[in-house]
Amino acid sequence: MAQSFGQTEINWDKLDKTRFYVVGAGLFTGVSVALYPISVVKTRLQVATKDAVERSVFSVVKGLLKTDGIPGLYRGFGTVITGAIPARIIFLSTLETTKVAAFRMIEPFRLSETTQAAIANGVAGMTSSIFAQSVFVPIDVVSQKLMVQGYSGHAQYSGGLDVARKVLRSDGIRGLYRGFGLSVMTYSPSSAVWWASYGSSQRVIWRFLGHDTKYDEHAPSLQKIMLVQAMGGIIAGASSSCITTPLDTIKTRLQNAYAQKMNR
């Protein structure tokens, strides 16, 4: 591996696991707080019927603020945070360990650095997503029902436990895993594309910036590393969203398909 690439990455065996999980959980929670209202609005729009009064982003936000204030934009947030943190731990642990193993497996093929990064990161992203979905899907089912409660004829709940109880009573444990197959089909390829694009695009950017030979002994500055990683994240997000959005709409409708039945 070129020295400059090695200076910008920390392998699993060199990683401070305590900081990795603690700081990672904190950052994930912060990002969730900032972006969660978008998920609420998006989910409501995805399940809206043709008879729904609120069928635009503005009307959904206005309706939530009018009836519940700011807390309305965070319906189901507690459930998501409670379940998403262990799911995130599973995801990151699987991601890092699988990535290291994948790099070792493809090393004998003498592929280019960019290709190796794309393959190893892609395999790791897909594998970690499959493992994480086993925890995240039940949380997703519960939180989405809380997001759309009372909207366009959907049932009302007193909290996450009430949702879980009614789902189990109506459909059994299968109800909490409704849409699991589609979630795997949606997020596993998306995760593979995201991480493959993220890993390979950074190599391309580093080469563009002149850090592409093993003789480059000057370590990039922290600011430059953060900038390159941010650019890689933007490219990865744009690439994966093309796969995620259509299937995510189908999954959301499937997970909320029995809301009317449970409301009876």
Every domain of the chain and the residues it spans: 16-178, 180-263
Q: Is 0.75 surpassed by the pTM of this model? A: no
pLDDT at 238: 87
In the numeric block, the tokens 């059994």 are attached to: 172
Mean of pLDDT values over 232-257: 79
When pLDDT is averaged across residues 239-247 and rounded to a whole number, the result is 78
Q: Which CATH class is domain 16-178?
A: mainly alpha
Q: Which of 12-16, 85-89, 125-129, 155-159 has the highest mean pLDDT?
A: 125-129
More confident residue, 263 or 126: 126
Are the beta carbons of 100 and 177 closer than 8 angstroms?
Answer: no
Average pLDDT, the chain: 82
Looking at residue 196, its pLDDT comes to 93
Dump pLDDT digits (tens) for 14-37: 677 787 778 877 887 788 889 899
Is the confidence at residue 1, as pLDDT, over 50? no
Let me know: does 221 contact 206? Beta carbons within 8 Å: no
Long-range CB contacts for residues 234-239, cutoff 8 Å, separation at least 24: 235/197, 235/198, 235/201, 236/193, 236/194, 236/195, 236/197, 236/198, 236/201, 237/194, 239/193, 239/194, 239/197
Position 7 scores a pLDDT of 54
- The alpha carbon of 112 is separated from its chain's Cα centroid by a whole number of angstroms, namely 28
For 147-200, what is each residue's pLDDT tens digit? 988 776 778 898 889 999 999 999 999 999 988 888 888 788 889 999 999 989
What are 25-78's pLDDT values in tens digits? 788 778 888 989 998 998 888 777 666 656 678 888 888 899 889 998 998 898
For position 130, what pLDDT does the model report?
93
